[in-house]
Structure 1
Amino acid sequence: MSDGPTYGFDTLQIHAGARPDPATGARQTPIYQTTAYVFRDADHAAALFNLQEVGYIYSRLTNPTVAVLQERVATLEGGVGAVCCSSGHAAQIMALFPLMGPGMNVVASTRLYGGTVTQFSQTIKRFGWEAKFVDFDDLDAVKAAIDDNTRAVFCEAIANPGGYITDLDEISKLSDAAGVPLIVDNTSATPYLCRPIEHGATLVVHSTTKYLTGNGTVTGGCVVDSGKFDWSASDKFPSLSAPEPAYHGLKFHETFGPLAFTFHGIAVGLRDLGMTMNPQAAHYTLMGIETLSLRMERHVENARKVATWLEADDRIEYVTYAGLESSPYFDRVDRICPRGAGGLFTFAVKGGYDACIKLVNALEIFSHVANLGDARSLIIHSASTTHRQLTPEQQDAAGAGQNVVRVSIGIEDADDLIADLDQALSKAAH
């Protein structure tokens, strides 16, 4: 779309980044299922490889279908650019890769998806990186955890699995004061409910597998660059501020300014890590995003109804949905997620672990899967699945205790969802 009018979210989710195909006039973005692209001549090829000209070389780096998705997500998030990759986990590594080095650490929230906790606590050690986990509701603890070797602060806007809302305004003040970027995983909220860059985030990551695609068909990830961080303000980020040997001493921040992180993500990150999104996955995600606002409105409406019903049921110990007035995070909804608290939350079942297993097995509409953000309602017992690698203490800290199930409320009829939970809870009590 051209510069000029300021378009609303519903218009941008359909049109941002997309133009009719110049070769055929096709209105929907084509799937450019190609590995490589023909250069105009030798000079054109050299300019592309020297980063003197933007264009297509090889689909590990750039692809026209993926490029439309990158521009669309960046636009919806209010960023200057984005890099799409093969999964949400890939996006997290892609976000950290230009920032970290051996001996460096990331200060991370304890309230994260279990797979992220494992990736940060175990896998990144192989790179010589460290994660320091802190309760992000304890601002003094977050401040104390940031040290001279900290290179990023990481949290989720709406935390998986509990649906807790992070006070991004306060966390960003701490990261700004320390001169390090704030990375916010916005998967559970999507830019329709929350725009972390407006609350001080430097980078936003997504598992596009979830709400952005919305139909459970493909995996993908995305890193959105706010363009607002000064990578040259200190010597902490040499990948972006110092000469890059692979490009004849080019300095990414000096050369590309606000787009430094985005260009590095493609020219170095995708080039060397190879965690590329395939064009068909990008196509499915683009189609999903076209209805994002409509789906998120229904997710929120249904989640509020179901959570309210569960909270009033004697078979339930507690419900964590931030959209309930009883939630300690309720006062953050209007400020951080003004369009609603999302469709993800947990509830604790009286009867503990065994009752949770019976509940999951008795449901008929809810699908028992390790995913969220689908149009279908989903449930999982995190302690026996997604968070089973964690210790009981880590499970409790992440809001995934033995007696807790996570639900991702879909866009079905809310009354049908309540009836399904009712009959399953009755069976779980016996």
Structure 2
Amino acid sequence: MSEEQQGFDTRQIHAGAQPDPATGARQVPIYQTTAYQFRDSAHAAALFGLQEVGFIYSRLTNPTIAALQDRIAQLEGGAGAVCCSSGHAAQIMALFPLMMPGCNIVASTRLYGGTLTQFTQTFKRFGWSAKLVDFDDTDAVKAAIDDNTRAIFCETIANPGGYITDLDAIAAIANDAGIPLIVDNTTATPYLCNPIDHGATLVVHSLTKYMTGNGTVTGGVVVDSGKFDWSASDKFPSLSQPEPAYHGLNFHETFGPAAFTFHGIAIGLRDLGMTMNPQGAHYTLMGIETLSLRMQKHVANAQAVAEWAAKDDRISEVTYPGLTASPYHDRISRIVPKGAGALFTIRLKGGYDACVASVSNMKLFSHVANLGDARSLVIHPASTTHSQLTEDEQIKSGAAPDVLRLSIGIEDAKDIIADLDQALI
């Protein structure tokens, strides 16, 4: 049986990993090295000319990171993957081959606050822009696309509100426009959803979150479906036209389904330098080994906590899609059939002040700027992760001043509920 045919639980342990040929080590070793010995001058020249695949320098390639890339690509059903230093770095890496000054992307209003700031502020320095649209309004998404649009961007399960994007509908729009759909799958993970199966071209993750699962690593990854025709138009010259830095090599013509992955390493990591470290890759490989087990517990706990919160008089709204009252509940069976994740928000009737006070009262919940940890986490987005946005932008992104974001961990559900009960104002 090939690795691609094996079940998820098997692949999350074995994909990309073989006993070390030199020592027999069963766990993927940490190759803590900067450079690699070439066999001879011809071998070195072939590697640098992209005529042979191998290890050159750890800004580009590293055996530990390569194993992680292979594992994630197989779990997501992609043709290849490129790991990098953070989720934000992954977003830049995904867009870098697609964009030029004057180009834009169409992005969902419901995104992590740091992503919104990156898209609306930092992108301006590159000459890029982002059009923010409510992705529940598919007509508005279509209308936002123009001749300079190079990608559509959304999250599978949006941070912070836990909203589920109709990936099939958005992918159809991207396909009609001849542009790639980029999906941030951080909060769903490949265990709950494979966006490529729903038409996504590229999938990005912050490996910092559920994939590692223990709050020890900062990392990111871009997974390429290998299914997009980069040469179908003149919109993507970095992939479909001769590359001067490699004597006119055409990435799509030369590497086919692996074009984006090779470009991400040979150009993206070479020039942007947003490299993941091998020790971080090792921790993430170990975290992924238990991904399915953790996600099952995360989802079960989130469902229990959300059902309790929906009945509490201090809470005016719970956004968890697993509740039958959620307008996104019917998308679970199509998009995330194994569960609606473990990230959602609650709105407190006491408003901003009640949110701040309640966070201070919590004992089991950790007040941190992270999600996807084994621990239950809480944050008040309006004063932290989404504080750069205007109040109107906060509301549109699901991070209004009276909202708390909960990332439900894998503790006993009754203990999580007890902590919320004693803390909320």
Instruction: Name the structure 2 match of 1:333.
Output: 332
2:186·2:207 contact (CA, 8 Å) conserved in 1?
yes
1: CA distance, partners of 2:171 / 2:5: 27
Letter in 2 for 1:336: I
Q: Report the secondary structure of 2:353's partner residue.
A: helix
Instruction: Name the structure 1 match of 2:385.
Output: 386
2: CA distance, partners of 1:396 / 1:4: 44
Instruction: Name the structure 2 match of 1:233.
Output: 232
2: CA distance, partners of 1:4 / 1:422: 46
Mapping for residues 288-327 of structure 1, pairs under 5 Å: 288-327=287-326
1:350 Cα deviation after fit: 1.0
Q: Report the secondary structure of 2:132's partner residue.
A: strand
Q: Report the secondary structure of 2:378's partner residue.
A: strand
1: CA distance, partners of 2:200 / 2:394: 27
Mapping for residues 111-150 of structure 1, pairs under 5 Å: 111-150=110-149
1: CA distance, partners of 2:356 / 2:107: 30
Given the alignment of the two structures, is residue 249 of structure 1 paired with residue 254 of structure 2, yes or no? no
Q: TM-score, normalised by structure 1?
A: 0.98
Go from structure 1 to structure 2 and tell me whether the alpha carbon gap of 1:147 and 1:60 turns closer, same or farther (over 3 Å shift). same
1:198 Cα deviation after fit: 0.2
For residues 43-87 of structure 1, what are the alpha-carbon distances to aligned partners after superposition, in whole Å with 9 as ceiling and x for unaligned? Answer: 000000000000000000000000000000000000010000000
Instruction: Name the structure 1 match of 2:211.
Output: 212
2:362·2:419 contact (CA, 8 Å) conserved in 1?
yes
Q: Which runs of 5+ in 1 are unaligned?
A: none
Q: Report the secondary structure of 1:35's partner residue.
A: coil
Instruction: Name the structure 1 match of 2:354.
Output: 355
2: CA distance, partners of 1:69 / 1:63: 10
Instruction: Name the structure 2 match of 1:48.
Output: 47
2: CA distance, partners of 1:6 / 1:21: 23
Q: Report the secondary structure of 1:219's partner residue.
A: coil
Mapping for residues 85-100 of structure 1, pairs under 5 Å: 85-100=84-99
Q: Report the secondary structure of 1:159's partner residue.
A: coil
Q: Report the secondary structure of 1:371's partner residue.
A: coil
Instruction: Name the structure 1 match of 2:411.
Output: 412
Given the alignment of the two structures, is residue 19 of structure 1 paired with residue 18 of structure 2, yes or no? yes
Given the alignment of the two structures, is residue 400 of structure 1 paired with residue 388 of structure 2, yes or no? no
Q: Which runs of 5+ in 2 are unaligned?
A: none
1: CA distance, partners of 2:268 / 2:423: 47
Q: Report the secondary structure of 1:303's partner residue.
A: helix
Go from structure 1 to structure 2 and tell me whether the alpha carbon gap of 1:5 and 1:188 turns closer, same or farther (over 3 Å shift). closer
1: CA distance, partners of 2:124 / 2:198: 30
Letter in 1 for 2:108: S
1: CA distance, partners of 2:294 / 2:217: 18
Mapping for residues 157-176 of structure 1, pairs under 5 Å: 157-176=156-175
Deviation above 2 Å: which 4+ runs of structure 1? 2-5
Letter in 2 for 1:142: V
2:3·2:15 contact (CA, 8 Å) conserved in 1?
no
Mapping for residues 53-92 of structure 1, pairs under 5 Å: 53-92=52-91
1:3 Cα deviation after fit: 3.4
For residues 331-352 of structure 1, what are the alpha-carbon distances to aligned partners after superposition, in whole Å with 9 as ceiling and x for unaligned? Answer: 0001000000000000001110
1:146 Cα deviation after fit: 0.6
Q: Report the secondary structure of 2:5's partner residue.
A: coil
2: CA distance, partners of 1:189 / 1:306: 18
Letter in 2 for 1:325: T
- Length, aligned pairs only: 425
2: CA distance, partners of 1:50 / 1:297: 45
2:34·2:58 contact (CA, 8 Å) conserved in 1?
yes
Q: Report the secondary structure of 2:345's partner residue.
A: strand
Q: TM-score, normalised by structure 2?
A: 0.99
The share of aligned pairs that are identical, in percent, is 77
2: CA distance, partners of 1:195 / 1:256: 24
1: CA distance, partners of 2:338 / 2:281: 26
1: CA distance, partners of 2:252 / 2:181: 18
Q: Report the secondary structure of 1:112's partner residue.
A: coil
1:6 Cα deviation after fit: 1.4
Letter in 1 for 2:257: P
1:5 Cα deviation after fit: 7.2
Q: Report the secondary structure of 2:151's partner residue.
A: strand
1:4 Cα deviation after fit: 6.7
2:3·2:11 contact (CA, 8 Å) conserved in 1?
no
Letter in 2 for 1:386: T
Letter in 2 for 1:127: F
1: CA distance, partners of 2:4 / 2:235: 39
When the two chains are superposed, the root-mean-square deviation of aligned CA atoms in Å is: 0.7
2: CA distance, partners of 1:40 / 1:136: 52
1: CA distance, partners of 2:195 / 2:61: 26
For residues 315-342 of structure 1, what are the alpha-carbon distances to aligned partners after superposition, in whole Å with 9 as ceiling and x for unaligned? Answer: 1000000110000000000100000000
2: CA distance, partners of 1:373 / 1:393: 27
Letter in 1 for 2:85: S
